[in-house]
């Protein structure tokens, strides 16, 4: 009979509260720069390319270094790497706040991405080692997931208020108190853990994973921009080739950075792919919904954020609901149901019109939040429960990398689909008599179309604005329908891949791996 794992103590739960602080902050921080960009542009006067680097460099460094940082955590201590990340996050925040030139802010954002890569997988892998009881760990992951949902929803409100009351510099300074608190409390409340047999430092694997991920994600993001298709294809294929070489090397070295044989575990593979495709669908449609609320309905940034708060509350609660229900309902059924509820939320966009009131969007988003909160909390639990505690860093890196890839692909592919629908509809419905070049410019973005419409005389400007909002609404409706179809397929896939998975005991990974006991350092 298997030995009953020790249960978490009160001290452990307080340690969890410390660990979720950086997750909440990083989720808020990810949204703030988007709203600060207008003020930054007015102050620092960056070029268009520099503005794009300000936005993209963080995600590129984060995605490129997740695997490397998790490997360093397995070797030298996950808490140690997390705390080093917190130090550099605070330093980068000061650099960002004090930036007087565009290149300084780009460098600060790059350092924030590096620090974020050290922090993000560390939180999840430490949770795996702190909570050995499956039911308690599921609740802990629900807390972790809820902080991400609340942070993403609070980002526009907190960021908008800070920028309005203070300045864009203050948006960076808000990171520092949280990181100081983490540096003080984590050594006291969070136990150190590491892999007892990490193997040697494999520099070729580090180079392949770093160069491959950065090139791959850069190619996807460049494709989304639509201005340099040749460069996008070249960097995408280069990144793909490097990542294939990385996987081949992981299969050959005695102790790999990422044990790709984990994908032999059906539950692990099913959970990772479900996460990636769910995020792909969510991100692609959600970004367009924020534009709809602001540019079509006419709400301010903060008003739009307030209408999206119910979704955050539902999403944050859904993880705890799932943790309770999974004790009585099979995991596969719950995950599939969650994904299908999310699909239903996006399917409601098929009825969207420019006159749709915000409360209808809020209800659709609540369905999305409920389904995503249930499904993704359980898949995260499955990913972490599919490996032994000493391999938690690798599992966390795979989970976070899937999220980043889903985000990049969702923005690029579904964003391009939406733009294609918008351009086609606007070309068919735009009023005759527009000045030369106006239609081409209006087809680039809805915001640009509305700006040109305000500059045109009388009825011509009104006709262009109406055509643009109608075209965008139609494009959003079609994109939401595509996201719903993808999620429908994902729900069926999850039901098949996760069938028969236990919700009580930890899952067994590949049989050819040696059995190790988790090591906890003082």
Domains of the chain, residue spans: 12-132+167-199, 202-254, 265-505
pLDDT at 504: 60
Give the C-alpha separation, 483 to 477, whole Å. Answer: 10
Residues 265-505, CATH architecture: Up-down Bundle (1.20)
Pair of tokens at residue 396 = 């966390």
pLDDT at 250: 86
Long-range contact list for 220-223, CB < 8 A, 24+ apart?
A: 220/408, 220/409, 220/412, 221/56, 221/59, 221/60, 221/408, 221/411, 221/412, 223/412, 223/416
Give the C-alpha separation, 320 to 334, whole Å. Answer: 13
pLDDT at 390: 75
pLDDT at 351: 87
pLDDT at 86: 92
Give the C-alpha separation, 342 to 97, whole Å. Answer: 38
CA dihedral defined by 178, 179, 183, 188, rounded to 10 degrees? 30
Q: Which DSSP symbol is given to 327?
A: T
Q: Is the dihedral of CA 116, 117, 123, 124 positive or negative?
A: positive
Rounded to 5 degrees, what are φ and ψ at 343? -60, -40
**519-521 and 192-194: which strand pairing?**
antiparallel
Enumerate residues 6+ apart whose C-beta is below 8 A from 102. 44, 45, 46, 47, 50, 54
Rounded to 5 degrees, what are φ and ψ at 330? -55, 145
pLDDT at 488: 94
**The overall pTM is greater than 0.85:** no
Enumerate residues 6+ apart whose C-beta is below 8 A from 247. 260
pLDDT at 308: 79
Please, where are the H alpha helices in 77-202?
78-97, 102-130, 134-165, 168-173, 175-189
Tokens 């999620």 sit at which residue?
487
pLDDT mean values, one per 10 residues, the chain (522 residues): 71 90 76 71 77 78 85 87 93 91 90 89 86 86 82 71 78 86 91 77 86 85 73 89 91 82 84 89 76 82 78 84 87 91 90 88 88 87 81 82 82 82 87 80 82 83 88 90 92 89 56 38 36
pLDDT at 507: 56
Give the C-alpha separation, 151 to 70, whole Å. Answer: 23
Please report the DSSP string for 472-512 in residue order.
Answer: HHHHHHHHHHHHHHHHHHHHHHHHHHTTT--SSSPPP--TT
Give the C-alpha separation, 219 to 177, whole Å. Answer: 36
Give the C-alpha separation, 37 to 480, whole Å. Answer: 27
Give the C-alpha separation, 129 to 164, whole Å. Answer: 42
Contact, 231 vs 222, CB < 8 A? yes
Residues 12-132+167-199, CATH architecture: Up-down Bundle (1.20)
pLDDT at 518: 37
Q: Is the dihedral of CA 159, 164, 168, 174 positive or negative?
A: negative
How many Cβ atoms sit within 10 Å of the Cβ of residue 45? 10
Given this chain, do its domains 12-132+167-199 and 265-505 carry the same CATH topology? yes
pLDDT at 519: 37
Please classify residue 274 by burial: count the beta carbons closer than 10 Å to its beta carbon, then call 0-12 exposed, 13-18 middle and 19+ buried: buried
């Amino acid at each position: 009979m298997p030995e009953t794992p020790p249960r978490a103590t009160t001290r452990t739960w307080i340690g969890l509260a410390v660990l979720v602080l950086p997750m909440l902050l990083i989720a808020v921080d990810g949204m703030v720069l988007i709203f600060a960009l207008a003020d930054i542009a007015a102050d620092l006067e960056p070029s268009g390319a520099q503005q794009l680097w300000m936005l993209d460099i963080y995600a590129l460094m984060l995605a490129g270094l997740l695997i490397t940082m998790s490997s360093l955590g397995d070797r030298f201590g996950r808490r140690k790497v997390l705390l080093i990340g917190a130090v550099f996050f605070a330093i980068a925040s000061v650099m960002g706040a004090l930036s007087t030139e565009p290149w300084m802010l780009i460098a600060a954002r790059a350092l924030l991405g590096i620090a974020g890569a050290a922090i993000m997988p560390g939180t999840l892998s430490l949770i795996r080692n702190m909570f050995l009881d499956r039911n308690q760990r599921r609740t802990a992951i629900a807390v972790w997931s809820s902080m991400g949902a609340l942070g993403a929803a609070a980002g526009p409100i907190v960021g908008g208020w800070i920028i309005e009351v203070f300045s864009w510099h203050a948006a960076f300074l808000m990171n520092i108190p949280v990181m100081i608190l983490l540096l003080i409390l984590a050594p006291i409340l969070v136990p150190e853990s590491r892999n007892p047999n990490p193997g040697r430092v494999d520099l070729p694997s580090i180079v392949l994973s770093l160069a491959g991920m950065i090139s791959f994600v850069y190619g996807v993001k460049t494709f989304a921009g639509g201005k340099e298709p040749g460069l996008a294809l070249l960097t995408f294929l280069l990144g793909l080739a490097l990542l294939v070489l990385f996987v081949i090397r992981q299969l050959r070295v005695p102790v790999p950075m990422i044990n790709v044989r984990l994908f032999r575990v059906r539950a692990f593979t099913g959970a990772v792919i479900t996460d990636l495709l769910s995020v792909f669908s969510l991100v692609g449609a959600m970004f367009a919904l924020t534009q709809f609320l602001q540019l079509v309905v006419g709400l301010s940034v903060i008003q739009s954020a307030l209408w999206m708060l119910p979704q955050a509350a539902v999403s944050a609660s859904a993880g705890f609901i799932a943790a309770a229900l999974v004790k009585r309902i099979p995991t596969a059924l719950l995950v599939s149901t969650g994904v299908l509820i999310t699909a239903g939320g996006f399917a409601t966009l098929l009825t969207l019109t420019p006159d749709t009131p915000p409360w209808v969007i809020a209800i659709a988003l609540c369905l999305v939040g409920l389904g995503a909160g249930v499904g993704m909390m359980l898949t995260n639990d499955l990913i972490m429960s599919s490996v032994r505690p000493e391999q938690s860093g690798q599992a966390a890196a795979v989970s976070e990398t899937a999220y980043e890839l889903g985000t990049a692909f969702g923005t690029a592919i579904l964003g391009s689909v939406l733009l294609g629908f918008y351009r086609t509809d606007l070309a068919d419905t735009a009023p005759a008599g527009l000045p030369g070049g106006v239609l081409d410019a209006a087809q680039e973005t809805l915001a640009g179309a509305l700006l040109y419409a305000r500059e045109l005389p009388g009825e011509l400007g009104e006709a262009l604005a109406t055509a643009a909002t109608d075209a965008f609404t139609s494009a959003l409706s079609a994109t939401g329908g595509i996201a719903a179809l993808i999620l429908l397929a994902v729900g069926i896939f999850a039901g098949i891949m996760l069938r028969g998975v236990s919700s009580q005991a930890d899952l067994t990974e590949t049989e050819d791996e040696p059995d190790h006991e988790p090591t906890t350092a003082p």
